[in-house]
Structure 1
Amino acid sequence: MQDCHILITRPEPENTLSCERIVTHGWTAVPLPMLDIAPIEDAQQRAAIRSQIFDIDTFQYVIFVSKNAARLAADWLDTCWPMLPVGVHWIGIGQGTTQALLEAGIPAISNPGHTTEALLEWLKPAKMKDQKILIIRGLGGRPELGDKLEERGAKVHYLSLYERKKPHYTAQTFFMLPDIHLIWVTSGEGLHHLSEYATQHKPEWKTLPILTPSSRVNQQAKEMGWIHASCADGADDNSLIKATEFHIGKQHD
């Protein structure tokens, strides 16, 4: 299993970075993004985004749900705020998102876990009452975080910076792929697209080990017919590499 072919389904540009990490471990990376990330291009929507970015100093907490949210928001902040406003708590969900913010010069902190659920446990309910919170995400993101914060008395607003789309692949794409031994999936939406393609073109993939980022997505995978779904407890490379090493170690036992 040292020459393990791992299917990486992250969106770009993270897919390329994950593939580079995998190669350093002596494994073979097979890139096949299951989400396309498209920044909002509509002029009216971009004007609304700009307005919200200019008002970002009115929020006590700004929460970024993904690396894409962090990267795109950093560009907007550079444009609208030559110096970041003070008094704002910048929070990234997961270490990868937080690291992306830090690299962009945004002094973000992160909860100890990697998921929305872990963040909710970490944020003290009493502290959230009457706090104005901005959640930066993609269009149509999960509402759970905002709903739970509102239950705690927070005033939640959303800022959507990008759309997530299903990539278009043909039967030829799947025919040309090498044999796959293990699959990384990093979101519920990516899993959904992968499952559709697997059902159509590669039903045997559903018998392969698949690593998921959270117990929620792991349960979804099992419900979609993935027989050997395992939770890596994080969507970041380190968590998935650790879970991959564990799996390969079991194969050798």
Structure 2
Amino acid sequence: MTSPVLICRPGERGEVLAEAIRSQGWPVERLDVMQLVPLKESAALRDTWLNIDQFQKVVVVSPFAAQCLAEALDRYWPQLPLGIAYYAVGAATAAALHQLLGIRVHLPSSTREDTSEALLELASLHEVAGQRILLVTGEGGRPLLDDTLSSRGARITRAATYRRQLDAPASGMRERLARGDYRALIVTSGELLEHLANWCDQAALNQLLIVSSRRLATLAGTLGFRTPMVASGATPAALTAALARACNPKDADVDQGT
């Protein structure tokens, strides 16, 4: 039996990725080591939603953050406030915002990775002195957006809408990771990569790892993974295309769009 491709993306997006991989003929198993848990709305967060029309820009970091934002706007704004420019870290987040809110979204060029670094290169995020910018995020995470936009003179408010709950792999999955008994491991989060490294013995470190950015590839190298392969982004199509290139390099022609 062909060894499976292991994925760890949670929720419905994980199933979309799994189906994309299965459609190319590879079996898939999900690690189920992360859950996204909405945070209880505090008084401060409620005030942020009620006053969202005071922000010039709203930056959304993930599809789940987009869902939380859409639910909040549905509660407090019968009509969307005007004059806000929306930004997304990645095509999947932009697609979620468009689907849920019907809005135009700024995101990095299609030739760039789905990263905060790529988003920050947009010209409209360079001249932001004095502007109020809302970051819709998960709890914790990298401070790059906050720090960079603040250094450019923006007034930043951070709206943490969910937390990431990390769980140990099930016993069968721990054994797979220890033995390297899989075709490839696909990871799109530094937090998840560091978490999974705890169960990866040498066999797993030598196995194919596919990541969604050069930053993650660098992290993978520091954790001991020998051959990380960088996909063109974090979308199911981009990740599946990278898997096809690695496993069938002569005829890998999977569409890398969204």
Verify same fold: TM over 0.5.
yes
Task: Tell me by how many angstroms 1:251 deviates.
Answer: 7.9
Structure 2 portions without partners, runs of 5+: 253-258
SS in 2 for 1:63: strand
Change in 2 beyond 3 A, CA 1:142/1:20: same
Aligned to 1:141: 141
Aligned to 1:117: 117
Deviating more after overlay: 15-24 vs 87-96: 15-24
State the number of aligned residues: 246
SS in 1 for 2:242: helix
SS in 1 for 2:228: strand
SS in 1 for 2:135: strand
Cα distance in 2 for partners of 1:172, 1:74 equals 37
2:86 to 90, 93, 96: 90
Task: Tell me by how many angstroms 1:4 deviates.
Answer: 5.9
Q: How large is the RMSD of aligned CA atoms in angstroms?
A: 2.2
Task: Tell me by how many angstroms 1:78 deviates.
Answer: 0.9
SS in 2 for 1:104: helix
SS in 2 for 1:13: helix
Structure 1 portions without partners, runs of 5+: none
SS in 2 for 1:158: strand
1:135-174 superposed matches below 5 A: 135-174=135-174
Deviating more after overlay: 236-245 vs 80-89: 236-245
Q: Is the 8 A contact 2:132 2:155 kept in 1?
A: yes
Q: Is the 8 A contact 1:92 1:98 kept in 2?
A: yes
Q: Is the 8 A contact 1:90 1:106 kept in 2?
A: no
Q: Is the 8 A contact 1:10 1:190 kept in 2?
A: no
Runs of 4+ in 1 over 6 A off after TM superposition: none
Amino acid at match of 1:88: I
Deviating more after overlay: 90-99 vs 171-180: 171-180
TM-score by length of 2: 0.88
Task: Tell me by how many angstroms 1:169 deviates.
Answer: 3.0
Task: Tell me by how many angstroms 1:173 deviates.
Answer: 4.2
Task: Tell me by how many angstroms 1:36 deviates.
Answer: 1.5
Task: Tell me by how many angstroms 1:16 deviates.
Answer: 1.3
Aligned to 2:38: 39
Cα distance in 1 for partners of 2:120, 2:176 equals 43
Change in 2 beyond 3 A, CA 1:173/1:239: closer
TM-score by length of 1: 0.90
Percent identity over paired residues: 31
Question: How far does the alpha carbon of each residue in 1:140-199 deviate from its partner, in whole angstroms, 9 at most, with x for none?
Answer: 121011111111111111000001121233434434899311111011001011111224
Amino acid at match of 2:244: E
Are positions 1:249 and 2:248 aligned together?
yes
